[in-house]
Amino acid sequence: MGHFDRSHSHNASHTWQLLLDARQNLSSFARMVADAHHEPLLHMRGIVKHFPGAKALDGVDLEILPGEVHCLLGQNGAGKSTLIKVLAGAHRPDAGTILWKGEPLRTTSPVAALRAGVATMYQELDVVPGLTVAENVFLGHELATAGVTRRRELHRRTQAILARLGHGDISPTREVGQLSAAGQQIVSMARALSHDARLIVMDEPSAVLDSEEVANLFRVVRQLTADGVAVVYISHRLEEIRQVGDRITVLKDGRTVGANLLVGDTPTADLIRLMTGRTVEGSFPERAAVDRDAEELLAVEGLGLRGVFDDVSFTVRAGEVVGLAGLVGAGRSEILETVYGARRATAGRVTVAGRRLRPGSVGAAVRAGIGLAPEERKSQGLLLGEPVYRNITLSSFGRFASAGFLDERAERAAAREQITALDLRPDDPDRDARTLSGGNQQKAMLARWLVHGCRVLLLDEPTRGVDVGARAEIYGLIRDLAARGAAIVVVSSEIDEVLGLADRVLVISEGRVVHAGPSDRIDEHGVLDLVMEGSVA
């Protein structure tokens, strides 16, 4: 297979696209048949919800059919979370009606919603780590007689539900805290099915999953819908909607702006226009020409990490954005982490502004002017329970320390300067970082390195979990930072994002650079061909 034919790769890609189109057309046909022959499982009409000083929902409509995956799209603040909390019984609507199987549904509490057959899986999973899988699955409606848990039956019924989800290998007696994020999601789904849920709402279920786990999630979702269970799927990732969805409802500013759109018949450009009010062409800012005489701020030469990647070389000049494209697991994130010193290279060297870095030292990298915004910003980058200003100044404490004490007034002043410059919202430095949207959490990460004076920024999946509108803001911010003289390296799983942002692109496959060149000389199909060729060579 070392001489893999590129024309065969192209044909394979084309065939895959035809199969995808055929699936989407079949899905469209199936949905039209369902529309004609099935009453909606759920119909929310004219839902209105006020909060002090704001109208979160202004007459929203949502219709869900039995056995469908209905995708709910919209930017942060569009009203998605409020709508599902109304459905889940966490909020009471100020106006509107909710029909469940054609009858009025009054979900006065989350318990009442569960009893009716509506279960909600929030982005922050509500499992109890110290309890077993079985105890979590039947939490709140334990199997007990005279106060004594019927453990044999508890384990038997839990095992049956897990097997239905295709995860009979998960032991009912295992502590949930020992499971991966994907495993904990399965437990949350099992809990929903233990209540005989006919509708499961999934809020950003793929946010903490890798590509294999996402594929497994989609398989489980399809098994549920094959059994007649309906799924409301909320995601910022439009490519996921294409893979798993049947119909789409779009919210904007608390209103329904697109209802019951067939996935196979609705172009991505139309979805973006509905969500943001602008076209996809306006998402990526115009790139200025890179000065060939600009200072070479980062040089990576023959870098290797045994068993992960090998012989990686590239340079980044002041004002330049370089993108790393490839599949998850190709070694892209590990390359950034090694440049940053979080992993110790087994070969090669990293040079910043002409000075060689000591390998395996984050401190040396930060002192040299390198900053990393990691892929998992919530678990690896931010202190979610700390205020925004402390997250921004976290890597610059030496600047604000005097006689062993931190000057909080100076911290806040420095943070506020970056909050204003980056348009971080809300502009409250004392607000906990956990309360920020995904886009504003990413801005806080960038602000940290700007306060520190970093000129080399390594950005790993900078728009992960960020809505379409906020993505455009972050794209503009990245290009603006480059225009101010920063050298930026971007890793993204979305090929169009890498090509739209970067001046030059490196394609990584199986831990090796298989292509390097200007981003305007390769397209998405070309990147896919290279990735396929590299993975089978």
The answer, yes or no, to whether residue 33 has pLDDT greater than 50, is no
Q: Characterise 102 by phi-psi region: left (phi > 0), alpha (psi -120 to 50), beta (else).
A: left
- Is the per-residue pLDDT at 459 higher than 70? yes
User: What does the pLDDT read at residue 48?
Assistant: 96
Q: Which of 257, 279, 301 is the last residue of a domain?
A: 279
Residues 357 and 467 in one domain: yes
Q: Model-level pTM? A: 0.60
Q: From edge to edge, which strands make up the β-sheet containing 296-305?
A: 309-317, 296-305, 347-352, 355-356
Domain presence at residue 472: yes
373 close to 442: Cβ distance less than 8 angstroms: yes
Which range, of 13-22, 51-60, 475-484, averages the lowest pLDDT? Answer: 13-22
- Enumerate the β-bridge partners of residue 149: 144
Residue 15 pLDDT greater than 70, yes or no? no
With 60 as the cut, is the pLDDT of residue 2 above it?
no
The CATH number given to whatever domain includes residue 142 is 3.40.50.300
425 closest CA partner among 411, 414, 410, 439: 439
Positive or negative, the CA dihedral 226, 227, 228, 231 is: negative
Task: Look at residue 30 and tell me whether its pLDDT is greater than 70.
Answer: no
Q: State both tokens at 147.
A: 């106060």
Helix (H) / strand (E) element for 392: namely helix 388-393
Does residue 246 share a domain with residue 111? yes
Q: Are residues 449 and 462 in the same domain?
A: no
Q: What is the token pair recorded at 199?
A: 């509708």
φ, ψ for residue 400 (rounded to 5)?
-110, 5
52 within some domain: no
The rounded radius of gyration (Å) of the Cα atoms in the chain is 25
Q: Is residue 309 part of a domain?
A: yes
Q: In this structure, are 411 and 475 located in the same domain?
A: no
Nearest to 208 by CA among 437, 435, 22, 378: 378
Q: Is the bond preceding residue 426 a cis peptide, omega within 30 degrees? A: yes
Last residue of a domain, one of 407, 437, 453: 453
Number of domains in the chain: 3
Q: What is the mean pLDDT of residues 52-81?
A: 91
pLDDT at 278: 63
Strands 504-509 and 321-325 turn out to be parallel
Q: Is residue 16 part of a domain?
A: no
Is 187 in the same domain as 240? yes
Do residue 324 and residue 463 come from a single domain? Answer: yes
156 and 247 inside one domain: yes
Torsion 523-527-528-533 (CA) sign: positive
Look up the domain containing 343 and give its range.
Answer: 283-369+455-537
| Rounded (5°) CA angle 46-231-94 | 25
DSSP for 264-304 reads GGS-HHHHHHHHHSS-GGGSSPPPPPPPTTS-EEEEEEEEE
Q: Distance between CA 331 and CA 295 in Å, rounded?
A: 27
Whole-number mean pLDDT of the chain?
86
* Residue 213 domain flag: yes
CA–CA gap between residue 338 and residue 489 (Å, rounded):
13
Q: Give one DSSP letter per residue of 470-485, joined into a string.
A: HHHHHHHHHHHHHHTT
Lowest mean pLDDT among 270-284, 352-366, 490-504: 270-284
Asked if the model's pLDDT at residue 37 lies above 70, the reply is no
Q: What is the 3-state secondary structure (H, E, C) of 139-186?
A: CCCCCEECCEECHHHHHHHHHHHHHHCCCCCCCCCCEHHHCCHHHHHH
Answer yes or no: is 315 within a domain.
yes
Beta bridge partners of 233: 71, 202
Amino acid at 368: A
Same domain, 438 and 478: no
Taking each helix axis from N to C terminus, what angle separates 268-276 and 468-483, rounded to the nearest 10 degrees?
90
Same domain flag for 470 and 438? no
* Together in a domain, 220 and 130: yes
| 201 φ/ψ angles, rounded to the nearest 5 degrees | -95, 125
CB burial of residue 365 (10 Å; 0-12, 13-18, 19+): buried
Assess if residue 259 is contained within a domain: yes
Q: Please determine, for residue 44, whether its predicted confidence score (pLDDT) is greater than 90.
A: yes
Residue 512 has pLDDT above 60, yes or no: yes
**Same-domain pairing of 310 and 232:** no
Find out whether 486 and 457 touch, Cβ atoms under 8 Å. yes
For residue 107, pLDDT over 80 is answered with: no
Question: Is 288 inside a domain boundary?
Answer: yes
Q: At what angle do helices 438-452 and 468-483 cross, to 10 degrees?
A: 20
The reply to whether 231 and 196 lie within a common domain is: yes
For 125-139, the pLDDT digits (tens) are: 778 999 999 999 998
Domain boundary among 409, 433, 453: 453
Sign of CA dihedral 167, 171, 173, 179: negative
- Average pLDDT in the 171-187 region? 89
Q: Rounded to whole angstroms, how far apart are CA atoms 110 and 201?
A: 13
pLDDT digits (tens, 9 = 90+) for 294-341: 999 999 999 999 999 999 999 999 999 999 998 777 899 999 999 999
